[in-house]
Structure 1
């Protein structure tokens, strides 16, 4: 015989047709089944071989739907295999062969897991998943991704899958979605950073405006929490209380309220004094500077901290509750 041997089964089918009675429906059906079987088997091998070449070259099997490996429509073929697999119509042998090549059966889960890896990396660096929207990790916009998955339906339409994904995120950070607790991502991030500063040995009295972590001014945020303590939820107050942050005690007011120092340049000068006093106590391990003491601030300016404390005592009635609380936290007895 000249030429290649016919594929398995085809020669047998031709012989059946040659010696069969004309138009025998049984034998005709059998011949057709041989042809279909061999066509499907050949197509399977072509698809697997194309997938193997792609994986060897690219290192993965996340093939775009429209991609053709040479003349073979590999992306469409893999999509068909995923559909067959989900329908439960794929043989175990075929499924195992594709899994060995690295097929991802669910592309949506693949994208989620890729972003989840970035979220884990962000948590390892920041100790929280309360990323601002512009947060980046592993080169991915993890802040925007977390914003998206926190939205209603952001974890997917399938409730089982959504619940599973929420559990995975909660395993990284139980406060990954602070909106469910009633506060903002911004509040969660700052409270987490405050807890980290204290865990690393910082004293609460030293966390004043200008004290930052990962670019966030934790001191200024803390001062705001003290002033607005009564406006926080019970759980927020409980969490801050666990860190040592106390509510500002109410003061009796007189019918005639004097001018305060809570706005404009007076407020800025007060915060500079707080920064200088906190810096002094941090360096000296406590105590109060003498009247003539001058503190050198990080920006190179000098601050007459001793005189400033005397001046605050003289204008005590012009200080608001938040300012008195900040002084008290720094050990100023007359401010308690």
Structure 2
């Protein structure tokens, strides 16, 4: 004797209800009377999980809270249930599948709303940012005085005026230039643009 699952799988195949169209239609009606979803267009694995949950609703009047890890005949019902509620999964279900789950009292989880943008606080520039800005100012001063084509000697220092400082600040420009070149991957877009504007 053939197992019922195998028999139903055979009936679902094309021509599985027989070659006689009238007899096939009659058999389809008989099977639909037992289970209207006997030949559902979605995967049978999905239908099997759904059917277990529908039976629970029929027995208890509502869908119980089923956590992932709760097994029924080897199927993790909780995990399946959680996956169906996922907004991404829910949108991939057919309208009929969504309706069936809704009848059980299931709705998709709400997609998490994007976190509100943190209010930007105006921080004072870090020491590294201050040093970069001073080096850039010193380079601009050098280029203006000496021209863009004259290389800066390695030991050269440049004195610049800095807001909030009473005395000129000395910048080791000859050291700052190779350091900036070697650290380009750490510079942000604005800093890179500023360096390029000075032909560095």
TM-score with structure 2 setting the length: 0.51
Which residue of structure 2 lines up, in the alignment, with residue 149 of structure 1?
11
d(CA) in 2 for partners of 1:208, 1:202: 18
Q: Please list every run of 5 or more consecutive structure 2 residues that lacks an aligned counterpart in the other structure.
A: 118-200
3-state DSSP of counterpart to 2:60: coil
3-state DSSP of counterpart to 1:194: helix
Map 1:1-336 → 2, pairs under 5 A = 140-179=2-41, 183-201=42-60, 204=63, 206-227=65-86, 228-254=89-115
State the Cα RMSD in Å: 2.2
The Cα shift of 1:251 comes to 2.5
3-state DSSP of counterpart to 1:178: coil
Structure with more of its chain in helix, by fraction: 1
Kindly indicate whether structure 1 or structure 2 has the higher relative contact order, using CA contacts under 8 Å at least 6 residues apart. Answer: 2
TM-score with structure 1 setting the length: 0.32
The Cα shift of 1:210 comes to 2.2
Paired residues in the alignment total 115
d(CA) in 1 for partners of 2:79, 2:47: 15
Runs of 4+ in 1 over 3 A off after TM superposition: 202-205
3-state DSSP of counterpart to 1:188: helix
d(CA) in 2 for partners of 1:222, 1:175: 19
d(CA) in 2 for partners of 1:210, 1:250: 23
d(CA) in 2 for partners of 1:195, 1:153: 30
The Cα shift of 1:176 comes to 0.8
